[in-house]
Structure 1
Amino acid sequence: MDAFEIGSCFKSYNELMQKLSEYCEVTNTKFTTKDSRLITNEFATAKESFVYSELKLICVFGRSHKIKEHNRKRKMRTIKIPKTECPAYFRIKLINSGVALQIVAMNTKHNHPLEKIEDPDYSRLKRKKDGRTGIKKEIKSEDEDDVSSDDMEASEFIEVYIDPDEPEPKVKFTYRGLCVPVFTPFREDLSLKEELIANYAQYLFDNGIKGILVNSAVGEGMSMSVPERKLVLEEWINVAKPLKMHVMVQVGACPLPDVLDLAKHAESIGVDSLLCIPELYFKPATEEDLFDYLKIVGEAAPKTPLLYSHNPGMSGVNLNMARFLSHLASDIPTFCGLEYTSDVDDGVAVLEASNEKYAVFFGDDSLVNVAISVGFESTLLVTANIYPQQVTTLIKVAKESKTAEAKKLQKQLNANFTTITNFGYWIPSVKTAMNLISPIHFGICRPPLKNLSADDIKSIKVDLKL
């Protein structure tokens, strides 16, 4: 059997299905189509034999079974076996303006035994009452005798819980794409230089940036007082809103009463979304701890989308985000997504758990091309401050599955970033590079961050050929 992996190309839809069939025969797996998009005018020159411009194949154990109840479709959640939870999938796209179908992302880690799969026809339903607020169903195939579930093996039936009608979410978060964490300008005496923010916003806007993150680690939010953080946000709201930029603000990394104060203030002046870092001293030890914390923050700003910052390298908090999204997040009315700055492989599971319900912003500048290839559609990238055109082009070609070009651009970006950060901690280094390359001078960083020496700055200029 030929390889069935990322990068594999197929000359027609039939060839894809044939190779998939061979793969399934060898691996004892079975896949079904979940999402697909027929060829449109965008691929007008593509052969009809491709059928689809994009499709996703998921393991049959990952299907979302549905039934009709009072003529309405309701989602069902697997209880006994992982019949609707297997994360294995293949994502296929039509590449290079319609010359081939290519596997651009995949996850071959199944969460169930790999054995010969017979796809049963679940056509007869027997209702059983449950003490919960929904209905429990026992689903059996037509050719089975009328036996009780006690006589059946776990692999022969699925016990599911039908959720009651879910209320409409209180907030909607529709922003997707690139969001840029912005610097905070300081004078030499370390006081705020907020008058630069208007020019900064215009610079980003002129370079195609449509979303910003205020008071993050890049913006040294943790080094500012609560009144200063409020002032900086107010300046950004005043200048970014007329430009129709999405303004997200980071409200965490301070005592909880201050977090709540910042969240309330942000909502009162019309911020578009909140991002919250976890408690950094009394760190959450479990996903449930994180849920309790974020729920309190969300209640302080009940009309504003809330996202969580998952950046274990900075926060020291490394919880299971896939579990958090799939089991807990929906009980926070304002929760809409997260920043994900961690391992790409684990990120695939996070994307699957998000099920397109939550926004997931990938935050590692060095792996943008890889992240997009596995399904990330949104990014949070500091390098877009310095190289906005290069970063936006990288994202564009990566989304177009121009793998070689994206890899080349990523390599160039990584080389520049490595040069910039050779001289100390990355935030002062990147801020220095921003001062050298952009038309705006943002000043220095506040302690405890250590600023670069005059010799280091000269070396960066030489290495970057400025």
Structure 2
Amino acid sequence: MDLKLLKIRSFEGLCAATYTPFDDQGKVNLDVIDKYVQLLRNQGVAGAFVNGTTGEGLSLTVDERKSIAEKWASASKGKLDMLILHVTTSCILETQELAKHAETLNVDAISLLPPFYYKCETNDDFIAYFKQVSQAAPNTPIVYYHIPTFTGVNVKLSEFLPAVSSAVPALCAAKYSCCDLSDLAGFMRTDKKLFKIFFGYEEMLLAALSLGVTAAIGGTFSYQGYLANKIIEDYKKGDLAKARLEQDQLKHGVDILAKYGYCVSTLKSAGNELSGINFGAVRSPMSPVPKLRAKELGSELKALGIPMK
């Protein structure tokens, strides 16, 4: 566990929040994942965050999530530096099952949303929940998944994470998919060395870098990964003018997604149009972007000249 914790805390760079590929019958298509890994490598994306929001994890069966996890573990071995599996379900027993399975695959970390239907009322409730999951995978670090716009759980991370992790040592990081930079700034100041922040709001990546963030997880990194890496590279060089231009280009790409209804369906359509890989459609209750609209979306994104390698 100590080596895994060190790996999480020292990681720098990008992880793609990956799509789940489906075939024409709506079944999981594992065959394209090898190509997907290469797509990420070509853009300098160092890791993958699998079965999360972008990956429609909560619309998948437990068996589907296991098969996807197994394929990513084998396909990414020796090719990506970081593999994080999101394991949350609405049932603690299924979450534990997925966590235990993830540990057998020797992944770098698992990620957990807070309970979002029957919510925790106190930190003690959170501690009990995270402990139960951690006991199912005692040698695997946990990344807290902070996305309040989806879960309705908006804890103050700078207070919450230290309180819970003191009782659950495996909880060592957070995927911060939130635009509240004030809380992030306080967190980075007080607990920078203890916890790893994976910033999950790529349209504000440059601002997060200025606060001390060194890693990010993004839904657009499957096709904007190279551009995001350029932002990081130029920020490190001190070329803020160039980094701002690149950040604006990335933000423009996100704005175009928003024009077509920024959601997993739109993200996946963008990936289909730009990556050269057919990830298929989304699963109900979401609906796919109509073909003509998807082509228009792709044309607008291509017109930005987003470099992919």
Fold conserved (TM > 0.5)? Answer: yes
Deviation by residue 1:103-161 (Cα, 9 ceiling, x = unmatched) = xxxxxxxxxxxxxxxxxxxxxxxxxxxxxxxxxxxxxxxxxxxxxxxxxxxxxxxxxxx
* Cα distance in structure 2, aligned partners of 1:437 and 1:350: 36
Equivalent position to 1:431, from 261, 265, 268:
268
Output the amino acid matched with 1:457: A
- 5 Å-filtered alignment, 1:83-94, equals none
- C-alpha change, 1:411 and 1:202, in structure 2 (3 Å) is same
Q: Secondary structure at the match of 2:198?
A: strand
Counterpart in 2 of 1:252? 88
- 5 Å-filtered alignment, 1:174-185, equals 174-175=7-8, 176-177=11-12, 178-185=14-21
Q: Does 1:338 align with 2:171?
A: no
* Cα distance in structure 2, aligned partners of 1:245 and 1:294: 25
- 5 Å-filtered alignment, 1:294-333, equals 294-333=130-169
* Cα distance in structure 2, aligned partners of 1:330 and 1:390: 37
Deviation by residue 1:161-203 (Cα, 9 ceiling, x = unmatched) = xxxxxxx959524232221111110012110111111111111
Counterpart in 2 of 1:225? 61
Q: Runs of at least 4 residues of structure 1 off by over 4 A?
A: 168-171
Output the amino acid matched with 1:270: N
Counterpart in 2 of 1:440? 277
* Cα distance in structure 2, aligned partners of 1:347 and 1:288: 23
The alpha-carbon deviation at position 258 of structure 1 amounts to: 0.2
Counterpart in 1 of 2:75? 239
Equivalent position to 1:382, from 209, 219, 229:
219
Structure with the bigger RCO (C-alpha within 8 Å, sep 6+) is 2
Q: Secondary structure at the match of 2:5?
A: coil
Counterpart in 2 of 1:349? 186
Counterpart in 2 of 1:396? 233
Q: Secondary structure at the match of 2:140?
A: coil
Question: Where do 5+ consecutive residues of structure 1 fail to align?
Answer: 1-167
Q: Does 1:277 align with 2:113?
A: yes
* Cα distance in structure 2, aligned partners of 1:212 and 1:339: 13
* Cα distance in structure 1, aligned partners of 2:2 and 2:45: 28
The alpha-carbon deviation at position 245 of structure 1 amounts to: 3.0
Output the amino acid matched with 1:431: K
* Cα distance in structure 1, aligned partners of 2:234 and 2:181: 19
Deviation by residue 1:396-439 (Cα, 9 ceiling, x = unmatched) = 11233322211111111111121123122421111101111112
The alpha-carbon deviation at position 328 of structure 1 amounts to: 3.1
Counterpart in 1 of 2:307? none
The alpha-carbon deviation at position 372 of structure 1 amounts to: 0.4
- 5 Å-filtered alignment, 1:17-416, equals 172-175=5-8, 176-177=11-12, 178-342=14-178, 343-416=180-253
The alpha-carbon deviation at position 244 of structure 1 amounts to: 4.4
* Cα distance in structure 2, aligned partners of 1:365 and 1:346: 17
Output the amino acid matched with 2:96: L
The alpha-carbon deviation at position 219 of structure 1 amounts to: 0.6
**Alpha carbons 1:187, 1:443 under 8 Å: kept:** yes
Q: How many residues align?
A: 299
The alpha-carbon deviation at position 378 of structure 1 amounts to: 1.4
Larger gyration radius, structure 1 or structure 2: 1
Output the amino acid matched with 1:452: V
Counterpart in 2 of 1:452? 289
**Alpha carbons 1:200, 1:440 under 8 Å: kept:** yes
Q: Secondary structure at the match of 1:447?
A: coil
* Cα distance in structure 1, aligned partners of 2:230 and 2:289: 30
**Alpha carbons 2:221, 2:228 under 8 Å: kept:** yes
* Cα distance in structure 2, aligned partners of 1:345 and 1:403: 21
Q: Secondary structure at the match of 1:253?
A: coil
- Name the structure where helix makes up a greater proportion of residues: 2
Q: Secondary structure at the match of 2:205?
A: helix
Output the amino acid matched with 1:185: P
* Cα distance in structure 1, aligned partners of 2:184 and 2:56: 26
**Alpha carbons 1:385, 1:434 under 8 Å: kept:** yes
Output the amino acid matched with 2:172: C
Output the amino acid matched with 2:23: R
- C-alpha change, 1:291 and 1:170, in structure 2 (3 Å) is farther
- Name the structure where strand makes up a greater proportion of residues: 1
- C-alpha change, 1:193 and 1:171, in structure 2 (3 Å) is closer
Question: Where do 5+ consecutive residues of structure 2 fail to align?
Answer: 304-309
Deviates more, 1:326-335 or 1:182-191: 326-335
Q: Secondary structure at the match of 2:99?
A: helix
* Cα distance in structure 1, aligned partners of 2:91 and 2:6: 26
